[in-house]
Chains A and B, each alone.
Chain A
Amino acid sequence: AQTVTQSQPEMSVQEAETVTLSCTYDTSESDYYLFWYKQPPSRQMILVIRQEAYKQQNATENRFSVNFQKAAKSFSLKISDSQLGDAAMYFCAYRSTTTSGTYKYIFGTGTRLKVLA
């Protein structure tokens, strides 16, 4: 069974600095998707970035980028020029693709990011 592990329950970063959140996963599949979601105090789950496993190029969205290491089954999120609004819980998620049409999404336990002014 697939698993997703976020080993950092909490991280802190100084405003304008860079921080990296870690995520590892376990799977025997070769085709899948990976996501990072942000959950601010409002509770809303917001998609930050998405990576398709078949793509070698790391996904980037403005100040957010990932380091996708398929062989190592690692999917870290880098936030550059951190802003106070980046403070939130961040979840890593894995989606498997099956031929039967059933999609499974598995979430990590989350990393709480604090941004210090």
Chain B
Amino acid sequence: IAGITQAPTSQILAAGRRMTLRCTQDMRHNAMYWYRQDLGLGLRLIHYSNTAGTTGKGEVPDGYSVSRANTDDFPLTLASAVPSQTSVYFCASSPGGGGTQYFGPGTRLTVL
């Protein structure tokens, strides 16, 4: 059982470039989430999706977009990357009504 996979593991990106972080889960969870983790700030929610076809904004959505075309995939796109988006990005999922979130291994993104 793979759980949640994220790609790439790490990436260095020039400012202004477009980047999509991929996230796939095989647990058939309804809900999926994107967080960014910055030193001293914990995990902050960027976007979420309660079920396929729906998405919502989290605490820090500016500069990011998501889509949820099916249950398994939840890509995060940076349309025009800026240095302040340098962070570690985690994808997570949870079953409907259950409560526990399961996390992917994270993507370390550096924007220069």
Expressed in whole angstroms, the Cα–Cα distance for A4 and B99 within the complex equals 17
Name the A residues within 8 Å of B21 (CB-CB).
none
Contact B43 A43 (CB under 8 A): no
* Interface bracket on B: 20 to 34
Given contacts A43-B106, A109-B42, contact A35 B50 (CB under 8 A): no
Name the B residues within 8 Å of A104 (CB-CB).
45
Q: Is the interface of B mostly helix, strand, loop or mixed?
A: strand
Expressed in whole angstroms, the Cα–Cα distance for A35 and B44 within the complex equals 16
Q: Is the interface of A mostly helix, strand, loop or mixed?
A: strand
A residues contacting the other copy or chain, number (CB 8 A): 21
Given contacts A33-B99, A43-B105, A43-B106, contact A103 B94 (CB under 8 A): yes
Residue of B nearest to A9 (CB): B40
Contact A107 B43 (CB under 8 A): yes
Contact B100 A50 (CB under 8 A): yes
Interface set, chain B 18-69, CB cutoff 8 A to A: 31, 33, 35, 40-45, 48, 50, 56
